[in-house]
């Protein structure tokens, strides 16, 4: 595995440059993308934690990781970057995001799809996971961030 530490959630598919309030690539909010390099470790950790919680929510609704050790070994063997201290469900996302077109047996990676998703192909599942993750990130933005921005604008 690459010995480079993942320093940012960026996946190189930024849509905030086109006016999105939530990036379709990494799911960070536009101001987090812009200000990331100025954030201290606590601020970065808060963003990472929110992204992890939302992604775990999506992933746990689609599959079960029954053997995290096998999953981690497969990620390392295939040189797929992941954040070791995050949930194994985030690791599962990294594997599916990178290998959806070539994986034929998820059980060999220590995970299994939940019954309602067993007929889905992995590229279809990957796209559904990504959409749901984006929708949750947008909803979080609208619920918790946008009202604060509006309050700031109207109080000046």
The answer to whether 42 touches 36, Cβ cutoff 8 Å, is: no
Is 45 part of any domain?
no
91: containing domain: 55-155
Spatial separation of the C-alpha atoms in residues 18 and 144, rounded to whole Å:
22
User: pLDDT tens across 6-45, in order?
Assistant: 788 988 888 877 788 999 999 999 999 999 999 999 999 9
Nearest to 93 by CA among 140, 42, 46, 26: 26
* Number of domain units in the chain: 1
Is 90 part of any domain?
yes
Which residues lie closer than 8 Å to 113 by C-beta, 6 or more apart? 62, 63, 106, 120, 125
User: pLDDT tens across 135-152, in order?
Assistant: 999 999 999 888 775 555
Spatial separation of the C-alpha atoms in residues 151 and 156, rounded to whole Å:
9
Is 28 part of any domain?
no
Query: Whole-prediction pTM value?
Result: 0.89
Spatial separation of the C-alpha atoms in residues 68 and 36, rounded to whole Å:
30
Chain centroid offset of residue 129 CA:
9
Is 113 part of any domain?
yes
Question: 29 by DSSP, 3-state: which?
Answer: strand
Is 125 part of any domain?
yes
Is 48 part of any domain?
no
Spatial separation of the C-alpha atoms in residues 11 and 144, rounded to whole Å:
24
The answer to whether 104 touches 37, Cβ cutoff 8 Å, is: no
């Amino acid at each position: 595995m690459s010995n480079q530490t993942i320093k940012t959630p960026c996946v190189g598919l930024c849509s905030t440059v086109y006016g999105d309030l939530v990036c379709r690539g990494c799911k960070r909010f536009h101001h987090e993308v812009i200000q990331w390099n100025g954030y201290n470790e606590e601020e970065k950790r808060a963003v990472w934690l929110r992204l992890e919680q939302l992604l775990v929510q999506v992933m746990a609704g689609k599959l079960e990781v029954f053997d995290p050790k096998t999953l981690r070994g497969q990620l390392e063997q295939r040189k797929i970057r992941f954040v070791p201290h995050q949930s194994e469900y985030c690791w599962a996302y990294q594997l599916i995001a990178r290998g959806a077109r070539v994986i034929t047996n998820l059980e060999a990676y220590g995970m299994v799809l939940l019954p309602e998703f067993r007929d889905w192909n992995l590229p279809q599942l990957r796209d559904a996971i990504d959409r749901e993750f984006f929708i949750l990130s947008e909803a979080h933005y609208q619920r918790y961030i946008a009202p604060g921005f509006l309050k700031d604008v109207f109080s000046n």
